[in-house]
Amino acid sequence: MTHPKIQSNTIRPCLSLLNFVESFWMLTNHSETAHDIIVLPDGRFDIIFSYSSSEPYNVMLMGLGSEPVQAKILPKSIMFAVSFKLLAIEYLLNMKAGFLLNQAHFLPTDFWGISQTDLNDFENFCKKISAKMLTLIKPDIDSRKEKLFKLIYSTNGSSPVKELSEKVHWSSRQINRYFTEQFGISLKAYSKIVRFRASLKDIKNGKLFPELNFTDQNHFIKEIKKFSGVVPKELFKNKNDRFILLSVLPKE
């Protein structure tokens, strides 16, 4: 990140976790003041382990976001987190998470055997929590779901529901019922979030026009504003590194 007081890092998961985990990430605020941020929808669930000079150690499960949210990185704080792909909700976390749309839920402070002392070393944290997750993956994953998510991610959410339905041999109606019950959102709405997130990479590199399957420039601007609260030009400027998801993306 470009902000001098905020340190960030990202580590990719091992091959065995690739269907379930998008990344591990950490953020640290070394300063005595809070850093105002806007959290953008990114199509992920997160489990965040954190503490600060004013808040005790806690563990929080963050649901899917469908709108921008104002937040703060607290002074003298540290956050280590796991960002999950949707398949993990059913086959790793073993839950339905529709109630978590735009919500957060506190987990026990001893969740998965991680403690505050594990937040001293990011690489060791990733190794420890990866070993735990590998023991939790449920067998007999539905091949339709596995293929569906691979298609959504590989096409950056640009494939219509009907096309996805045909490719995975699963009816659109059943897919949408599954999404609504499991994640609290339709497949079409989720795909728009995935497409928005994919657009951030282009916006960070100054491409303020549609690269994916947006109808036209107006459609592109409308969708970006819907999920970020601002037009692409303002998002590109990213004043004070407030759009945290954009800040941590590498610039090409």
H or E segment and range at residue 49: strand 45-51
Type of residue numbered 201: K
Q: Is 114 part of any domain?
A: yes
What domain range includes position 219?
143-238
For the chain, residues with pLDDT lower than 50 are: 1-2
User: Domain boundary at 134, 169, 184, which?
Assistant: 134
pLDDT of residue 246: 85
Q: Report the alpha-carbon distance of residue 169 to residue 148 in Å, rounded.
A: 10
170, 112: one domain: no
20, 103: one domain: yes
197, 234: one domain: yes
CATH number, residue 43? 2.60.120
* Cα distances (angstroms) measured from residue 197 to each of 126, 184, 223: 24, 19, 11
pLDDT of residue 248: 80
Q: Report the alpha-carbon distance of residue 42 to residue 106 in Å, rounded.
A: 20
221, 198: one domain: yes
Q: Report the alpha-carbon distance of residue 175 to residue 158 in Å, rounded.
A: 16
Q: Is 252 part of any domain?
A: no
Tens-place pLDDT, residues 158-170? 999 999 999 999 9
Q: Any residues with CB less than 8 A from the CB of 237 and at least 6 apart, and which? A: none
114, 45: one domain: yes
123, 189: one domain: no
129, 161: one domain: no
Q: Is 247 part of any domain?
A: no
27, 126: one domain: yes
95, 83, 96: which is closest to 244 by C-alpha? 83
Q: Is 249 part of any domain?
A: no
pLDDT of residue 211: 72
41, 118: one domain: yes
The tally of CA atoms less than 13 A away on the side-chain side of residue 191 is 23
User: Domain boundary at 103, 134, 165, which?
Assistant: 134
Q: Report the alpha-carbon distance of residue 10 to residue 223 in Å, rounded.
A: 27
pLDDT of residue 212: 66
Query: How many domains in the chain?
Result: 2
82, 196: one domain: no
CATH number, residue 190? 1.10.10.60
* Whole-structure pTM value: 0.93
- Give yes or no for a contact between 55 and 74, defined as CB atoms under 8 angstroms apart: yes
Q: Per this entry, what is the length of the chain?
A: 252
pLDDT of residue 1: 46
